[in-house]
Structure 1
Amino acid sequence: MATIFPREERAEALFGEILKNPEACRRLMDTFNDSLDMADVLDAPTVSAQQFAAALFNAYENKDLSAFLMAICQHSMFDLLRNAALIPFKFNADGQPNPVILTDDAGVLLPNNKFAVSSKVYDRFIRVFQKQEKVKMYLASGYCKYHGYDEGSMDVVEYHYNQHLGLLLIYELPDTVKQKVTEAEAYSTVWDIQMRLQHALPRSVVYYGQDTLKDGGTRYDELGVFLPLEHFADRLERHMETATKIVYGE
């Protein structure tokens, strides 16, 4: 049988970066330990003893670690890495917009937004909005997510939490698909950026997309830095400058 999620190919370089970084290992372990209680905190369904056993045996038979992790901590393998801020969230994973962009390239609110944007929030965004060649800016709504099992059917269910309005900065990076680089390998290439962002801008969220940005007929990878306004509204301009310097190694 196939694994529940497609297996990430050539992930060894990424795992190697994590293993040689004590702080990264600690964050991964802390995220796992915290997730053991997530069902109670986030009102996620709990699995029965029979469902637990089925998930355990399925994981053994199919060499599928995520199948078992979802039964005990409501996270797949890569959910843990993302929620520990060790790898980026994937832009619009599984066809679901994340982050949801709320403004156009000129900074104007898009019509028919399903998210309420107060005049105070929009004014804060407009004060820092700039049209630049190196970075695109949007007001957006982003969230974290994890996966678990439906209590009745044992189907895989996706859960969202920590949804915030914030400033999304999008940067162009070389197209790794042309270089025949896997997604996991691409994450390892931006490892230093991810770690530096977490040190300088804790609670920022990093997004990544392979071959997802088109500019003038040329395709690029895109890296997004999401700054939730709840945490970064003060001195937002300085936080933007910090993110840009880190991404471009300035």
Structure 2
Amino acid sequence: MGHSISGVGVLDKAVLILETSVDGASLAELVERTQLPRATAHRLAQALEQHRLLVRDAQGRWRPGPRLGELANEAPDVLLTAAEPILAMLRDQTGESAQLYLRRADDRICVAAAERSSGLRDTVPIGAVLPMTAGSAAQILLAWEPPEAVLPLLPRAKFTARILAEVRKRGWASSVAEREAGVASVSSPVRDRTGRVIAAVSVSGPIERLTRRPGERHAMAVVRAGQRLSGL
């Protein structure tokens, strides 16, 4: 390992171990990826495991531990804070209800929303749990996932692997009467600083207004909203 990033060498090495373990890593893989001495990598991984920052999976490989999520949940949610004005802007630009969704296992949860003040609208309350097998937001949350996270859901899904490939190519998704009869939607990804998709931002409303090709009408605005929320 080269010079210390923070000036505290052991901290830099511990963070390197955590980053290397995101997708799972054996001791040999930790050593190869970090270029740390075997004894150092093993000692740091064990120490991080004691603090529940790493855990061992069934194959004995280290992976991120539950304490990381606990610490994240205890911190102010920057994404939700930023989402409120951006969803309101998206609602005003499109004239449709806007939502932000996160994936939780085989469901997606609406964590923020901006509703139309009048007229027909697709009301999705904050906290609503919706399936990962229908709707443009579900397509977004699955399109960039590895096959093992997608394949178990496809037999029950209203969309196909080919549709998810198209979503990846164009950068947004649309649906017409997938989740609910009479409702159309358009969604785009929200990414973290590494480019990983962490959320989906959407607009939804009656097909009568969005038409059966809702992307032609609203994709650009939704994509821009996703870009504004990305990298926070």
Q: TM-score scaled to structure 1, two decimals?
A: 0.26
TM-score by length of 2: 0.27
The structure that is helix-richer by fraction is 2
Q: Which structure carries more relative contact order (alpha carbon 8 Å, separation 6+)?
A: 1
Which one has the largest radius of gyration?
2
